[in-house]
Amino acid sequence: MKEERKKQFLWAIFIFGLFLLNYPVLAIYDIPERWLGIPLLFLMVFGIWLFLIIAMVIFLRKSNSKTDV
């Protein structure tokens, strides 16, 4: 059951990432604003991408440490 739960959570992160990196959400940040000389849209794309990677790493480390005990 634990492996199935892990797969479901990883699929949920994937679907959430697809939603966040899809056109309607990214269109919100497609404005001529720049932070530190970088367009806001690029910052949001790479920020969301980084958030998804960190969420997966944290989840996988927690789930692996629980199964090792």
**DSSP designation for 37:** T
Total tally of structural domains belonging to the chain: 1
Token code pair at residue 32: 């001529």
Structure confidence by residue, pLDDT tens digits, 3-50: 888 899 999 999 999 999 999 999 999 999 999 999 999 999 999 999
Domain with 23, as residue range(s), is 2-68
Rounded Cα–Cα distance for residues 53 and 66 (Å)? 20
Please say if the pLDDT value at position 66 is more than 80.
no
Dmax (CA) of the chain: 51
Tokens 């000389």 found at: 37
